[in-house]
Each structure stands twice: as C-alpha cells, then as structure tokens.
C-alpha cells in the first residue's frame, strides 16, 4: 500500500516535470487554447501538433498561445502570430490559396479526368458496337446449321 502510494507520487511528479506549464484558470479560455494547440504543428517532431508533443519548443509555444488567449486575442490573431514566425508550414490544415490550389483541388481534378476518360471510352465502345456480339459470318452460320442437324460440318 505504502509502496503503491510512493510509486503514484513519483509518477505524478514525473508527469509534472514533463509538462512544466500552467493551465489557464478559466476553463473556456483553456479549451480555446487547447483547440489552437491541436491546429499547430510542432516543428521539432513534425508529425505531431504542439498539443501532442513534449518537445521543449512545443511547451514554449503552448504557453505563448495561452498567454495570447488570456490577453483576449482572437483565434486568427494567435495563429497569425505563429505563422509570421514559422510560416504556413505550422498549420496542420493548410490554407486555401494560389500555392495550395493543387493540393486542395487536385484529387477532385484527377477524379474528374478519370471519369471523363471512362465516359468517353464507354461511349466510343458502344458506338463501335463493342457492347453487342458481332453477327455471325456466312461460314459460321453454315457450320452452326450443320451441327444442329447432326451432320459433320
């Protein structure tokens, strides 16, 4: 029992050490800050948001976001602050702008191109009569008739 309690205390202290940061007293502001944290990429471990990362820089950036939220800045203002320093790369959801049109609309364009190609191919195949079997030639007709009558073709 005593040992379990010591272990629990050690774990709590370890967790506190790993995340030496202060949560905002107002739960609504903290929730806003956390949403912002989730939308910002950690630049040290680039496939995580700063919310998920324990990198030193992520802790600092989380704290900066909290300070700005607490100071009453808008979400767009806070995001802009980070983007001015680190560029669009920090946004886990890239903005829609000229340089990202291909990223956003590329998949739809490829689908459209594929659908157009498939449509044209099928239409041409139908026009060429590839859908229906070709009519029998005279030779085939004679062979078929012979087989039906039980003769050697």
- Indicate whether 95 belongs to the interface with another protein (CB under 8 A): no
The residue from 6, 89, 114, 147 that contacts another protein (CB under 8 A) is: 89
The residue from 33, 36, 40, 43 that contacts another protein (CB under 8 A) is: 43
Element containing residue 36 per DSSP (H, E): helix 27-39
- Indicate whether 84 belongs to the interface with another protein (CB under 8 A): yes
Binding segment for another protein (CB under 8 A), chosen from 12-20, 52-60, 97-105, 126-134, is 52-60
- Indicate whether 64 belongs to the interface with another protein (CB under 8 A): yes
Joined together, the tokens standing for residue 130 give 């590839």
Q: What's the distance, CA 14 to chain centroid?
A: 33
Least distance between another protein and beta carbon 43 (Å)? 4
- Indicate whether 52 belongs to the interface with another protein (CB under 8 A): no
Q: Token match 């202060």: residue?
A: 22
By the 8 A CB rule, do 65 and 40 touch?
yes
By the 8 A CB rule, do 29 and 72 touch?
no
By the 8 A CB rule, do 50 and 41 touch?
yes
Can you tell me the distance from the alpha carbon of 66 to that of 22, in angstroms, rounded to the nearest whole number?
Answer: 9
Least distance between another protein and beta carbon 122 (Å)? 14
Least distance between another protein and beta carbon 47 (Å)? 11
Element containing residue 153 per DSSP (H, E): none
The residue from 61, 65, 69, 78 that contacts another protein (CB under 8 A) is: 61
- Interface residues with another protein (CB under 8 A) are 43-44, 46, 56-57, 60-61, 64, 83-89
């Amino acid at each position: 029992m005593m040992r379990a309690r010591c272990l629990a205390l050690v774990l709590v202290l370890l967790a506190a050490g790993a995340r030496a940061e202060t949560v905002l007293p107002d739960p609504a502001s903290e929730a806003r800050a956390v949403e912002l944290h989730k939308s910002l990429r950690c630049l040290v471990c680039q496939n995580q948001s700063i919310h998920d990362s324990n990198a030193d820089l992520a802790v600092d950036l989380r704290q900066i976001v909290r300070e700005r939220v607490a100071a009453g800045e808008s979400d767009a203002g806070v995001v802009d602050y980070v983007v001015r320093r680190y560029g669009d790369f920090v946004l886990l959801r890239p903005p829609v702008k000229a340089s990202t049109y291909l990223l956003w609309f590329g998949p739809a364009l490829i689908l459209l191109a594929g659908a157009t190609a498939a449509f044209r191919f099928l239409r041409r195949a139908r026009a060429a009569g590839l859908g229906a079997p070709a009519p029998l030639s005279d030779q085939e007709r004679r062979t078929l008739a012979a087989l039906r009558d039980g003769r050697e073709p």
